[in-house]
Amino acid sequence: MNRPNILVVLSDEHTGSAAGWAGHPQVRTPHLDRLAAQSVSFDRAYTNSPMCVPSRLSLMTGQYVHQIGAWDNGVIPGPDFRSWGHHLPDYQTVIAGRTHFNGPDRLLGFDRRLTDDLDFWIDHSGRPPRRTTEWQRPTNSHVTEHGSGDHVHTRHDVAATDAALEFLRNPGPRPFLLYVGYMHPHFPLVAPPEFRDLYDPADVELPPTWDEPAASQHPVISLLRHGFRNDEPITEDQIREATVCYWALISHLDHQIGRLLAAVPDDTVVIYTSDHGEMAGHHGIWQKQCFYEPSVRIPLLLRHPSLAPARSTSHVSLVDVLPTLRDIAALPADPALPGHTLLDPVDRPVLSEYHAQGMVDGGYMLKSGRWKYCYYGPAHPPQVFDVEADPLELHDLSTDQSLVAKLDAELRTLLNPDRTDTLAKHNQSARASR
């Protein structure tokens, strides 16, 4: 059987709206724009967790975070972890770059690794986060550290591309699944000068909610902002410079992806996506860790020889990638996977979870049609947004008790949120005591 070669590219912290093909008026992504013109663009794609390691382990297993116990960034995958490499035995499965796998096993079912994560991103301790009201990030450098310059993240990404290109020059006779993982546009927002110079801070249109007072926000969001020091004052000039540096990192990412695309034939299947988004000042927040659209909506492009270029409005998420890879490899659907192949997408509710620092109790998002339901446990009120009518998520509709009841019941068809929160806390407590 003739199985196509597959290239999967995963960036870090690329929000779904920050690209030319997505309609952004300023972010320059010419190579991704050309890929989008050849692809199905899933315009309602979401992460299953707005946090790096949980999102990536969910992506690699095709399982929700609660199904595999991927609660936080300290989780080390156990021996029962089944990745794309386990699912696609007829492919040579190859990694270049960032995976954010923790622990000594650097393959997790893949055949080869060309380059690895940066050492300081690999956690070998299994240490859980501190989930208390007193916890705070040491600084707000995720927004205040910005500007032109060389950075190890940039060098990592160039090295990953170089290694992938070397592999592609002579991949061998077996079909390949090549995964290339990039650090960009993850903070710190230090951008290569030639890409920083593409943008003028004066052209930045500040988010309407950039100066939203933390004290006026939902209590869970207010505490999250305090924990990540997103309630500390920053100037408009700082926000403008941070924003253009974020855009510059996206453009550098686009350049690396362009190098990859030039090296693969047109019949190579290509998937591009990101592990989660970046708030970039919306609601006064930088980083992610919440369920507002800039944090949870991600880019997702699929180029396949049998698919005509299109824009899809089906709600999809990262757990749909593994069923898609199995479908591309002519394998039957795996009933143990909650996702669905993107070769024949189905519009259905999306689940996202967060069980880490900044939120004392677990947070859950159900995106169902036009509605977004955010559940934070019985001790806190939920949030409800009509994302179609209110894309900036300014108007919380949770006083509509019948709507809340309907969406809450829909969430509970996917998981029991309170029992899941208990499981997460027990696991984190046990890891802390070790």
| pLDDT above 90 coverage of the chain, percent | 99
Q: pTM value?
A: 0.97
Averaged over 229-237, what is the pLDDT? 95
Check whether 310 has a pLDDT greater than 90.
yes
Check whether 2 has a pLDDT greater than 90.
no
Q: What is the pLDDT of residues 165-182, one digit of tens each?
A: 999 999 999 999 999 999
| pLDDT above 70 coverage of the chain, percent | 100
Check whether 383 has a pLDDT greater than 80.
yes
Q: Both tokens of residue 142?
A: 């995720």
DSSP 229-278: TTTS---HHHHHHHHHHHHHHHHHHHHHHHHHHTTS-TTSEEEEEES---
Check whether 352 has a pLDDT greater than 90.
yes
Write down the pLDDT at residue 345. 95
Write down the pLDDT at residue 434. 86
Check whether 55 has a pLDDT greater than 70.
yes
Write down the pLDDT at residue 337. 98
Domain map (residue ranges) of the chain: 6-347
Write down the pLDDT at residue 367. 98
Check whether 1 has a pLDDT greater than 70.
no
Q: What is the pLDDT of residues 109-133, one digit of tens each?
A: 999 999 999 999 999 999 999 999 9
State the SS3 of 125-160: CCCCCCCCCCCCCCCCHHHHCEEECCCHHHHHHHHH
Q: Which amino acid is at 125?
A: S
What's phi and psi for 187, nearest 5 deg? -60, 160
Look over the chain and give the mean of its residue pLDDT values, rounded to a whole number: 97
Q: What is the pLDDT of residues 238-262, one digit of tens each?
A: 999 999 999 999 999 999 999 999 9
Q: Which CATH number fits domain 6-347: 3.40.720.10, 3.30.1360.120, 3.40.50.2300, 2.160.10.10?
A: 3.40.720.10
What's phi and psi for 216, nearest 5 deg? -90, -5
Q: Which 8-state DSSP code applies to residue 327?
A: H
Check whether 37 has a pLDDT greater than 80.
yes
Check whether 197 has a pLDDT greater than 80.
yes
- 86: exposed, middle or buried (Cβ count in 10 Å: 0-12, 13-18, 19+): middle
Looking only at Cα atoms, what is the longest distance across the chain?
61
Check whether 393 has a pLDDT greater than 80.
yes
Check whether 401 has a pLDDT greater than 90.
yes
